[in-house]
C-alpha cells in the first residue's frame, strides 16, 4: 500500500498496474493473515477486457521469466493455482462451490 491508500484502493491500483483492468472491490475474503507475508484478499469484479502486463512485472518479463495475464474460467484448474491455500477455499465459498 502507498501512503494514504486504503486496502481497497491498493487492490484496484495493483489490478490496473499489473493487468490493465479496472474493477470494483467487493467483500474482504476470509483468508488468515500470515505474519511473514501479510496480505488481504478481496473479491473483485473486473471489467471483461483483454488483460495486459504492466507495472514491475512488465519490467521483469523476459524469455526466462515470462508473465502473461489471461482470463481463466473459475474451475478447479484455475483455483488450484491460487495461493495461499486459504485463498482457494475463500474463493470457493464466495462463489458457492463446495470446499475442495
**All structural domains of the chain with their residue ranges:** 7-71
**pLDDT score, position 12:** 95
User: Which residue from 24, 19, 29, 31 is spatially nearest to 9, judged by alpha carbons?
Assistant: 24
Task: Please state, in angstroms and rounded to a whole number, the distance separating the CA atoms of residues 30 and 87.
Answer: 8
Average pLDDT, the chain: 85
**pLDDT score, position 50:** 83
User: Which residue from 21, 44, 37 is spatially nearest to 90, judged by alpha carbons?
Assistant: 44
pLDDT at residue 97 tops 70: no
What's the pTM?
0.74
pLDDT at residue 47 tops 90: no
Alpha carbon 56 to chain centroid, angstroms:
15
Query: Among all chains, which residue has been given the C-alpha cell 491508500?
Result: 5
Mean pLDDT of 62-75: 78
Amino acid at each position: 500500500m502507498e501512503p494514504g491508500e486504503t486496502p481497497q484502493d491498493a487492490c484496484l491500483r495493483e489490478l490496473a498496474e499489473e493487468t490493465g483492468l479496472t474493477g470494483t472491490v467487493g467483500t474482504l475474503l476470509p483468508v488468515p493473515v500470515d505474519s511473514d507475508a501479510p496480505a488481504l484478499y478481496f473479491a473483485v469484479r473486473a471489467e471483461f477486457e483483454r488483460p495486459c502486463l504492466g507495472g514491475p512485472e512488465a519490467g521483469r518479463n523476459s524469455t526466462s521469466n515470462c508473465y502473461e495475464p489471461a482470463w481463466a474460467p473459475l474451475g478447479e484448474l484455475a483455483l488450484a493455482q491460487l495461493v495461499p491455500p486459504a485463498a482457494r477455499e475463500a474463493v470457493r465459498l464466495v462463489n458457492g462451490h463446495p470446499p475442495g
